[in-house]
Amino acid sequence: MVATGEQYVNQRLQGIGMTSRRTRERMINRLKEQGITNTQVLAVMSDIPRHIFVDEALASRSYEDTALPIGYNQTISQPYIVAKMTELLMENGSLSKILEIGTGCGYQTAILSKLADKVYSVERIEPLLKKAKDNLWDLDIKNVSFQHSDGGWGWQEQAPFDGILVAAAPSEIPDMLLQQMAMDGVMIIPIGTKNKQELHRVTRTKTGFEDEVLEPVTFVPFLSGKG
Ligand code: SAH
């Protein structure tokens, strides 16, 4: 018998055992050991099922602290880095409007959607954007708008944003993204080359931009144009 749409979604959400509370709790405990303290971030990461964002063949590894392939030479970010970037973005309180560059499979997008009023997410590879839309639909997430574009342009029509999160590493901070930050807005972005990248937090102040270098990271490169 063919499963109905709803049955199919339910089967996917339930997974094959690896979604047990214990498996997810292990991931949350690991995040706490790694220094994540924001209880809202931890609660959301415990709620969103990471296994539905990866291929079934990789689902049993989906709660490990590792990046996993999602096709098209891209990866779903490691849980620690998703938690860390979200926590940094939220440090001064909750955000109303977030711009995310690099939707990928939509895992980080789903986390952000639970912590902001509205998320705008841009991805250059169209089939990935389609995957992300399907995943968020299955989770009944409705406060996200997507755009197939080069994220280096930001999303001018919706600016300014009080938070910007970039999930791929450019060699320098794209000027258009700086321009689309609200006053007191925060941008979390990896900057560097393939072999050496650092996570930056940029804050827009009355007098300009404050740029803090936080920790070494490894992201896929930020590429120009549509994929
Ligand atoms: N946050 C994602 C991580 C995806 S990896 C997740 O949780 O799965 C980074 C993504 O950034 C890739 O999908 C890649 O295609 C995308 N990307 C790279 N350069 C980009 C650009 N200039 N504009 C938009 N997306 C970009």
Mean pLDDT on 72-92 = 95
pLDDT at residue 39 is higher than 90: yes
CATH for the stretch 67-217: 3.40.50.150
pLDDT score at 15: 57
Which atom of ligand 1 is the closest one to the Cα of 82? 7
pLDDT score at 93: 84
Chain mean position to CA 28: 17
Place of tokens 């300009």: 208
Q: Which residues contact 105 (CB under 8 A, 6 or more apart)?
A: 53, 54, 70, 76, 128, 131, 132, 135
| Options 20, 46, 77, 145, the catalytic residue | 77
* Residue 91 dihedral angles phi and psi, to the nearest 5°: -55, -35
- Confirm whether pTM is higher than 0.75: yes
Q: Report how far residue 146's alpha carbon sits from residue 152's, in angstroms, rounded to the nearest whole number.
A: 15
Cβ–ligand 1 distance for 50 under 6 Å, the answer: no
Residue 122 CA to ligand 1 center (angstroms) comes to: 8
Residue 121 annotated to the active site: no
Least confident residue range of 16-30, 74-88, 212-226: 16-30
Cβ–ligand 1 distance for 104 under 6 Å, the answer: yes
Chain mean position to CA 114: 12
pLDDT score at 59: 87
Place of tokens 């072999």: 195
pLDDT score at 78: 94
